[in-house]
Structure 1
């Protein structure tokens, strides 16, 4: 009877461990296209602050500043996306979004140390290269309505 009870307890523990989403799993899911689009500005800011803290070794104070900058950017971008969905000129909206990204990127760079800034710049370049490679290889083709 004791062996049976121990087996049930161990099985229940392993089942609950498998169903609980880990922080890494949440981060990975948030980094994949649609998952990120369904995130709130607060979730996006948290994700970006966590990612940059891990990649750049940010201090607690820097992480707080990065989260604040990321939250303001995410809120502004969400507002712009809403305007695009409402029928605003798409080309003008894209230019406005780029200007917003540049503005917040400048604020973010002011928070980083010279070493962190160098690493951040490298990471951004790698990200752009991956995005460019994806487009060239057809991984990011837009859907065409028939």
Structure 2
């Protein structure tokens, strides 16, 4: 009986370790490809736009990953500012790639994503930025 319980515990432990290894962080290239695929579907992007959007998102992902590597070494306000700067830079590049109709769809898509995130966190949504 003791051996059976030990075997069950051992097998359960192996299952937990296997699951922990499966949840490795995605690389910036994988994240960019996934985001590009979603945006291509939502915004009806052309092939050239898909290539450009992927490049922008890949650059953003690499920048954000480099910030994560520096985590704990800088002031939190500096990190937040650098994070915002990278996101805003990518946002402006994306908007330069999109057509006016696509920009409208993109803004609506981003707002919907933000609302979904807030609903999951049960936080009141922040007012939309005034441009």
Question: TM-score normalized by structure 1?
Answer: 0.65
Deviations along 1:31-54, one digit per CA (max 9) or x if unpaired, are xxxx99701111111111111111
Q: Which of structure 1's runs of 4+ aligned residues deviate more than 6 A?
A: none
Paired residues in the alignment total 102
SS at match of 1:71: helix
Q: 1:71 aligns with which of 58, 65, 68?
A: 58
In the aligned structure 2, how far is the partner of 1:36 from the partner of 1:56? 30
Q: Aligned in 2, Cα 1:46/1:119: closer, same or farther, shift over 3 Å?
A: same
How is 1:1-146 mapped onto 2 (pairs within 5 angstroms)? 38-84=25-71, 86-136=72-122
CA RMSD, aligned part only? 1.9
By relative contact order (CA 8 Å, sep 6+), the higher-ranking structure is 2
Q: Tell me the CA shift for residue 87 of structure 1.
A: 3.2
Unaligned segments of structure 2, at least 5 residues: 1-21, 124-131
